[in-house]
Structure 1
Amino acid sequence: MSNTILNKVNKALEEIRPFLISDGGNVELIEVKDHIVKVKLTGACNGCFVNQSTLKLGIEATIKKYAPEITEVVNISA
């Protein structure tokens, strides 16, 4: 995966991270491969019952805003 896509993904995560931290959680980028981003939700986000909503509506939507070529965001800690 190109550095450009990786930079876009990192920029998107930096935008969403303060919201996660304010709720006691965070997100860690694991891998970007074949237009799929793998992340690990940590802290309060890991066990939260709405983490799928956070993942799809928050993290994935923000990443796709910066990098529309990304097709999916997957939480590997699920």
Structure 2
Amino acid sequence: MVLIRGGNFEMGDSKSDPEEWMEDAQEIHTVELDSFYMDVHEVTVGEFKQFISFSAITIGGIITQTDGMRSLNIHRATIIQ
């Protein structure tokens, strides 16, 4: 795993973007992100479940895809709650 250092960045839309998908965007604002670790290799949901079953680690929720749908074991593990 590698450390991704936290910091501040500007997030949002200036409201000058006419794209329809930007309708729900918030105005530009500063976001502070804490440091976190990210694996350097992709891991499937099945691989992650196997890892969890052999370790003392517990997760507090479900493993999902970025679109919020439950993942099959062959999908990449993208959100772990």
Question: Going by fraction, where is helix more abundant, 1 or 2?
Answer: 1
Task: Normalising by structure 1, report the TM-score.
Answer: 0.23
Q: Give the TM-score, by structure 2 length.
A: 0.23
For CA contacts below 8 A with separation 6 or more, give which structure has more relative contact order.
1
When Rg is computed on C-alpha atoms for both structures, the one with the higher figure is 2
